[in-house]
Amino acid sequence: MDHKISVTVQIDMDGKNIRIITAGCLTRFSQSALLPLIRRARKLTPGIHVTVDATPTRHVDAAGLELLRDAVDNEVSLGNGPPVQFVVPAHLPRHHATVDIGASSTYTSLVAAPHKEGAS
């Protein structure tokens, strides 16, 4: 499987809020690319509020998320920078559960059910 992560960074005009938005796959491998970004974001301006928003992420690996949070927590506890707020989906999405597959299988069962009843 190809687990690619893409990241969008939004910074408020006043430089007080920075939002790191992840899409694609957040796994134990791809999360390592986020840490340098988070590190830089926390140092951007004093008192900056850093949010990591994984809501649009198609696939969130629980172990990967745990690794990232541990690494960030560790940096927060060591340094004098601000904490990082994580926004993650309530149910971590898995890679194979894509919208396309879900939609087509639902459609098939909806079509198949009336056909079976009509035949019997």
Taken in order 100, 103, 107, 109, the sign of the CA dihedral is positive
Of 67, 1, 64, 68, the closest CA to residue 27 belongs to: 64
| Binding of residue 39 to Zn ion (CB under 5 A) | no
Gap between the Cα atoms of 31 and 54, Å rounded: 11
| Binding of residue 42 to Zn ion (CB under 5 A) | no
Q: How far is the CB of 114 from Zn ion (least distance, A)?
A: 36
> Which of these ranges, 19-27, 47-55, 82-90, 105-113, lies near Zn ion under the rule CB under 5 A?
19-27
Q: How far is CA 55 from CA 1, 30, 79, in A?
A: 21, 16, 27
Q: How far is the CB of 1 from Zn ion (least distance, A)?
A: 6
Which of 2/117 has CB closer to Zn ion?
Answer: 2
| Residue 87: strand pairing partners | 53
Q: Among 19, 39, 49, 95, indicate the residue that binds Zn ion (CB under 5 A).
A: 95
Binding site for Zn ion (CB under 5 A): 3, 25, 59, 95
